[in-house]
Amino acid sequence: MANVNGKKNILLIVESPAKAKTIEKYIGEGYTVEASMGHLIDLPKSRIAVDVDNNFEPEYITVRGKAKILKMLVQKSRKIEKVLLASDPDREGEAISYHIKNALLKKNPDLEFERIIFNEITPKAIRESVLHPRQIDDKKVNAQKARRVLDRLVGYNLSPLLWSKVKNGLSAGRVQSVALRLICERENEVEAFIPEEYWTLSALLDKGKKSFEAQLVKYKDSKPELKSKKDVELISDTLKDLLFAVSDIKNTEKISKPKAPYTTSKLQQAAANRLGFTSRKTMQIAQQLYEGINIGSSRIGLITYMRTDSTRIAQSALDEVRAFIGKNYPDELPETQISYTVSQKAQDAHEAIRPTYVDNTPDSIKDSLTKDQHKLYSIIWEQFVSSQMNPMKSISRSIDFSAGEAVFRASDTKIIEPGYHSVLKMLSPKDKRKALPTFKIGEELECEGFTPEQHFTSGPARFTDASIVKMLEEQGIGRPSTYAPIISVLLDRYYVVRKNKQLVPTQLGRIINDILSSSFPDVLNVGFTAEMEKKLDLVEEDKEEWVKILKDFFFPFKETVDKVMNSLESIKGVMDEPTEFSCEKCGRPMVKKLGRFGFFLACSGFPECKSTKPVPLGDCPRESCNGKIIARRRAGGKGREFYGCTNYPECEFFTQYKPINQKCPKCGQSLVEKEDKKRGSYKSCITPECTYLHVDEEALRENAVEEVQENGAE
Q: Which residues are part of the catalytic machinery?
A: 305
φ, ψ of residue 509 in degrees (nearest 5): -60, -40
Residues 6+ apart with CB under 8 A from 208: 437
Contact assessment for residue 390 and residue 254, using Cβ atoms and an 8 Å cutoff: no
Q: Which alpha helices (DSSP H) does 454-500 contain, by range? A: 465-475, 483-492
- The distance between the two most distant Cα atoms of the chain, rounded to a whole number of Å, is 97
Q: DSSP 3-state assignment of 287?
A: helix
What distance in Å separates the CA atoms of residue 148 and residue 140, rounded to the nearest whole number?
A: 12
Q: Which of 595, 634, 589 is nearest to 614 (CA)?
A: 595
Give the containing element (helix H, strand E) for 144: helix 138-165
Count each helix (H run) and each strand (E run) in the chain, helices first.
18, 29
What's the gap between Cα 246 and its chain centre?
46
- Using DSSP's 3-state secondary structure scheme, residue 93 falls into helix
Residues near 152 by beta carbon (within 8 Å), at least 6 away in sequence: 43, 48, 49, 50, 58
Round to whole Å and give the CA distance between 671 and 193: 12
Cβ atoms 298, 25 nearer than 8 A: yes
Q: Residue 3: is it exposed, middle or buried by C-beta count within 10 angstroms (0-12/13-18/19+)?
A: middle
The angle formed by the CA atoms of residues 302, 306 and 309, to the nearest 5 degrees, is: 140
* Strand 197-207 relative to strand 210-219, pairing: antiparallel
Q: Residue 566 in 3-state DSSP? A: helix
Q: Could you tell me which of 347, 430, 358 has the C-alpha nearest to residue 387?
A: 358
Q: Where are the beta strands (DSSP E) in 457-528?
A: 496-499, 502-505
Q: Answer yes or no: are the C-beta atoms of 87 and 78 closer than 8 Å.
A: no
Closest CA to 310 of 270, 349, 268, 358: 349
Amino acid at position 331, single letter: D
d(CA 381, CA 132): 29
Task: Assign 254 to helix, strand or coil.
Answer: strand
> For 287-309, b where at least 16 C-beta lie within 10 A, e where not — what string?
bbbbbbbebeeebbbbbbbbbbb
Please tell me the distance from the alpha carbon of residue 699 to that of residue 452, in angstroms, as a whole number: 8
The amino acid at 424? L
To 5 degrees, how large is the angle CA 50–CA 51–CA 54?
Answer: 140
How far apart are the C-alpha atoms of 353 and 545, rounded to whole Å? Answer: 32
Q: Supply the Cα-derived Rg of the chain in whole angstroms.
A: 31
Strands (E), 139-209: 197-207
* 3-state class (DSSP) for residue 267: helix
